[in-house]
Amino acid sequence: MKIIIIGCSGRMGQAIEENAESFGIEIAAGVDTQHLRQTDYPVYTDIQRIQEHADCIIDFSHHSMVKSVGEYAKSKKIPVLFGATGMGTEELAYIDELSQEIAVLQSANMSLGIQVLRMLAEKASKILSGLYDIEIIEKHHNQKKDAPSGTALLLYNSVKKGQSHAVFGRQGKEALRQSDEIGIHAIRGGGVPGEHEVAFFGAYDELNLIHRARDRKVFAIGALQAAKFLCGKQNGRYDTSDIIQECLGE
């Protein structure tokens, strides 16, 4: 199996490159606006100039690249995986449209551990909603630009029920917690790769579900697993929860 890495010179691109061989995956080509290091594969500044064949595209560059990468993937009839965060409504709508033509997997977090956390949090919410207060806390390195993280929002969408709504931090004298709130809090510091916690607070106990990424390699490994999952799939929109379902045989 061969892949094209968009954003190959970035930290995630390099992590994917370092782990590809262990998955039996060959890198056919890379794309990056700044190519400052030696690689065993050709690197282009323009995706349209790629001549090499590939079975899947992995894009961790920037959400603004979605359409150009998507149009290339559509023209070549190959699946594409989008891992960049900060997707807007227009970009997500384009991915929906693209998935009618080719197989597309888009996720704010490629870690399979995060998907297990999401599934557990969703089940806990169904049982505890209305009885427990729910708070989501995410921690990342001090260079992360967006807040809250896309993964925190993914978790929020998994646990919200009925009239519940998000509250991003609390400040002021009128900050008394309401019963239908789900608090989302972002912490930035040092070199934290990523930590996400969904906490359920009852009157007399609490339940904390936590995922800690200790190295970016966990996201690269998830992306490579996702690429193998996508290869040969029919057109449609997939996410990493589909990989979990396949693992469970559901």
pLDDT tens-digit profile of 27-72?
Answer: 999 999 887 788 999 999 999 999 999 999 999 998 889 999 999 9
pLDDT tier for residue 86 given thresholds of 50, 70 and 90 = confident
Instruction: Reply yes or no on whether 74 is catalytic.
Output: no
Instruction: For residue 208, give the nearest of 216, 199, 217, 195 by alpha carbon.
Output: 199
Task: Please say if 35 is a catalytic residue.
Answer: no
- Pick the catalytic residue from 139, 140, 196, 211: 140
pTM of the shown model: 0.82
Does residue 103 contact residue 226 with C-beta atoms inside 8 Å? no
Alpha-carbon distance of 201 to 133, in angstroms, equals: 5
Q: Which of these is catalytic: 144, 185, 217, 228? A: 144
Structure tokens at 136: 């989501």
